[in-house]
C-alpha cells in the first residue's frame, strides 16, 4: 500500500522535502477531522447551555455528556408531569378551587417569590386547560427550539394526554419527594418554572442552596449541568466558573475544590495534598501516596508519617523487570 | 464510577483550556462515552518516529484515577516497548507505577518520552528490542522509520 511511497521517493534531500509536505498534509487532514468533530461536539454542548458564549467556547460546561444522556429522560418526565397536570386541570376546572392547586413549595417556605408562583399556579387552575396547554407548548418550543426531536416528544405528549390516568400520582408525589431530597430538586424546579415563568419570570424559590452560595456542598450536582431554562443555565454557568476560579487549590485526584479541612490535611511527608474523600478511597485501594508512591501509614489524624523503609521497595532493576511482565498483567 | 466521571469531565475542560499548550498532543474524548478517549501524538523529533502522527486509544476504567487508563497504539509502530500487533504499551506508569495524580495528558507526554527513549530490556516487540540490544541502532532506526512512513504518514495518493 505505502511501498510505492518508499519506492518513488528518489534521493534523500528531495525525499525529506516530500516527506515534510506529506506530513504537513496528514497533520492538516487529521486536524481538520478532529476540529470538525470537536466543533460538532461543542455545538451540541452549546445547545444544552445557551448563553455565556465566549465562556462555553473556551471551556464548555462541566458536564457536557450528562445533559444529553439525561435529556430524554428529563424531558419525558417533564412532559408526563405536564400532561398529567392538564388532566388534573380538567378535573379542577369544575370545582374552581385555587386553594387546592398543587404547589407544595408555597407551603414549604414563606418567601415572596413563592406567592408569585402560587398566583401563577392558581390562575392556571382557573384558566382554560386547553389554552394552558398551548401556552406550555409555545414555551417548550422557545425553550428547545434547536432540538430536532421535539416532534417526537410531542407525539409522546399526545399519547400521554389520551391515556395516562396514573400519571396524576406522579405529579403529586414527585415535587414533594424531590423537596425532601435537595440533590434532585432540579426536577421540581423545572416543573415549577414551567408554570411560574408564565406570570412572572422569577426563578423558582424552593432551592436549598443558591449556586453562588458559599455553603453549597461541592458534591451537589451543578445545576448548570441539568437541562433547564437557558437563562438559568447562563446564570449558573457563570456562577460555576467563578467558583472554580476563585478557589484555585483543588484536589489533584478528583479536581474538586479543597475545603478548609482538606487544605489542613497533610497525609504524607512528601507534602502531597488531596481531599479526604480521595485519601479514603486510596486507603481502601493500594494505600500509596499519589505524590511519592510511598505507602501511607497510620494517618487518620492527618499527622505526617515516617515512611523510610518503604521509600522505594523495588530497586531500579526490579522496577525495570516489572515492565516486562506487562504482557499478561492487565490486558 | 461517579468520581471517575467527574474527574474525566474536569480533565476534558482542562484539555480544552490548554489546547495549544502542548502542540504535540491532541486529546479527544469520544462523542458518546467519556470513558473512551483518542489521542494523536506527534513522533518526537530526532527519532525515527519524527514526522509521524500516532493515534492512541484510551480505555478508562471506572475506578479511574485509582486505576490507570488502558492505552494502546492504534497506529502501527516499531518500538521495543510496543506490541507490534496489538499496540499494547509497556510503560511502568501504565502498570504498577501508576499514580492517581497522573492525567491523560501526562500519560501522553510519558508515551512521547518512551518513544524517544526506548527500553530494549523489557521488550514487547522482541525484534525491535533485539536490534537495539545487539547494538544495531542503525538497523532499528531504519526499520522504525520505515514503519513510521508506512503507518503514521499519509499514503501517497
Residues A214-241 pLDDT 10s: 555 555 544 443 333 343 333 443 333 4
Query: Cβ(B79)–Cβ(B120) under 8 Å?
Result: no
pLDDT of residue B65: 87
**Cβ contacts of A228 within 8 Å, gap of 6 or more:** A186, A189, A190, A193
CB contact burial A156-175 (16+ within 10 A = b; e otherwise) = bbeebbeeeeebbeebeebb
Burial class (CB in 10 A: 0-12, 13-18, 19+), B67: middle
Residues in chain B, pLDDT under 70: 1, 156-157
Q: Tell me the residues of chain B between 95 and 114 that have a Cβ less than 8 Å away from chain A.
A: 95-97, 99-101
Q: E strand or H helix at B36, and its extent?
A: strand B36-42
Other Cβ atoms within 10 Å of A16 Cβ, number: 12
> What's the pLDDT tens digit per position in A174-191?
444 444 444 444 444 444
**B57 inside 8 A of chain A by CB:** no
Q: Give residue B84's Cα distance to chain centre.
A: 13
CATH H superfamily, domain B1-152? Ubiquitin Conjugating Enzyme (3.10.110.10)
- Separation in Å, CA B87 to CA A198, A250, B33: 58, 35, 22
Query: Hey, what domains does chain A have and what are their CATH numbers?
Result: 248-296 (3.30.40.10)
**B86 inside 8 A of chain A by CB:** yes
3-state helix, strand, coil in chain A (%, to 5): 65, 0, 35
Among candidates B34, B94, B101 on the partner chain, residue whose Cβ is nearest the Cβ of A252? B101
ipTM above 0.90, yes or no: no
Mean pLDDT score of chain A: 52
Q: How far apart are CA A163 and CA A156, in angstroms?
A: 11
* B29 part of the active site: no
Res A301 pLDDT > 90: no
- Side-chain half-sphere CA neighbours of B87 within 13 A: 13
Res A68 pLDDT > 50: no
Which cell is B77 given?
Answer: 509502530
pLDDT of residue B69: 94
Query: Cβ(A279)–Cβ(A265) under 8 Å?
Result: yes
Res A295 pLDDT > 90: no
Amino acid at each position: 500500500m505505502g511501498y510505492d511511497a518508499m519506492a518513488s521517493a528518489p534521493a534523500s534531500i528531495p525525499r525529506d522535502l516530500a516527506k515534510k509536505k506529506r506530513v504537513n498534509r496528514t497533520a492538516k487532514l487529521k486536524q481538520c477531522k478532529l476540529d470538525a468533530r470537536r466543533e460538532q461536539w461543542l455545538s451540541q454542548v452549546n445547545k444544552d447551555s445557551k448563553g455565556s458564549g465566549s465562556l462555553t467556547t473556551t471551556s464548555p460546561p462541566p458536564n457536557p455528556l450528562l445533559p444529553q444522556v439525561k435529556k430524554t429522560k428529563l424531558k419525558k418526565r417533564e412532559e408526563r408531569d405536564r400532561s398529567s397536570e392538564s388532566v388534573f386541570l380538567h378535573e379542577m376546572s369544575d370545582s374552581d378551587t385555587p386553594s387546592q392547586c398543587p404547589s407544595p413549595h408555597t407551603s414549604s417556605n414563606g418567601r415572596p417569590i413563592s406567592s408569585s408562583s402560587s398566583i401563577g399556579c392558581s390562575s392556571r387552575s382557573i384558566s382554560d386547560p386547553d389554552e394552558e396547554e398551548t401556552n406550555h407548548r409555545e414555551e417548550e418550543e422557545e425553550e428547545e427550539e434547536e432540538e430536532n426531536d421535539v416532534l417526537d416528544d410531542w407525539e409522546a405528549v399526545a399519547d400521554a394526554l389520551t391515556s395516562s390516568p396514573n400519571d396524576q400520582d406522579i405529579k403529586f408525589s414527585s415535587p414533594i419527594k424531590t423537596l425532601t431530597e435537595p440533590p434532585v430538586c432540579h426536577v421540581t424546579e423545572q416543573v415549577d418554572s414551567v408554570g411560574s415563568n408564565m406570570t412572572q419570570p422569577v426563578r423558582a424559590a424552593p432551592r436549598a442552596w443558591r449556586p453562588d452560595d458559599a455553603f453549597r456542598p461541592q458534591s451537589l450536582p451543578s445545576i448548570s449541568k441539568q437541562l433547564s431554562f437557558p437563562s438559568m443555565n447562563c446564570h449558573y454557568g457563570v456562577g460555576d466558573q467563578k467558583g472554580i476560579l476563585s478557589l484555585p487549590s483543588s484536589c489533584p485526584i478528583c479536581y474538586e475544590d479543597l475545603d478548609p479541612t482538606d487544605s489542613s490535611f497533610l497525609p504524607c511527608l512528601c507534602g502531597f495534598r488531596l481531599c479526604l474523600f480521595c485519601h479514603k478511597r486510596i486507603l481502601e485501594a493500594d494505600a500509596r501516596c499519589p505524590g511519592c508512591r510511598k505507602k501511607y501509614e497510620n494517618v487518620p489524624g492527618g499527622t505526617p508519617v515516617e515512611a523510610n523503609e518503604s521509600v522505594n521497595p523495588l530497586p531500579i532493576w526490579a522496577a525495570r523487570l516489572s515492565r516486562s511482565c506487562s504482557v499478561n498483567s492487565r490486558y | 464510577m461517579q468520581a471517575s466521571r467527574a474527574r474525566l469531565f474536569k480533565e476534558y475542560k482542562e484539555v480544552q483550556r490548554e489546547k495549544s499548550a502542548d502542540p504535540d498532543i491532541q486529546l479527544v474524548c469520544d462523542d458518546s462515552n467519556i470513558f473512551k478517549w483518542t489521542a494523536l501524538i506527534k513522533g518526537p523529533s530526532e527519532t525515527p518516529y519524527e514526522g509521524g502522527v500516532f493515534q492512541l486509544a484510551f480505555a478508562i476504567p471506572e475506578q479511574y484515577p485509582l486505576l490507570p487508563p488502558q492505552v494502546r497504539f492504534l497506529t502501527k509502530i516499531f518500538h521495543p516497548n510496543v506490541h507490534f500487533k496489538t499496540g499494547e504499551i509497556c510503560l511502568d506508569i501504565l502498570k504498577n507505577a501508576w499514580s492517581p495524580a497522573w492525567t491523560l495528558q501526562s500519560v501522553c507526554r510519558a508515551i512521547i518520552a518512551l518513544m524517544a527513549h526506548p527500553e530494549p530490556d523489557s521488550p514487547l516487540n522482541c525484534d525491535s528490542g533485539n536490534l537495539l540490544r545487539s547494538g544495531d541502532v542503525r538497523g532499528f532506526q531504519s526499520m522504525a522509520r520505515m514503519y513510521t512512513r508506512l503507518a503514521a504518514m499519509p499514503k501517497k495518493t
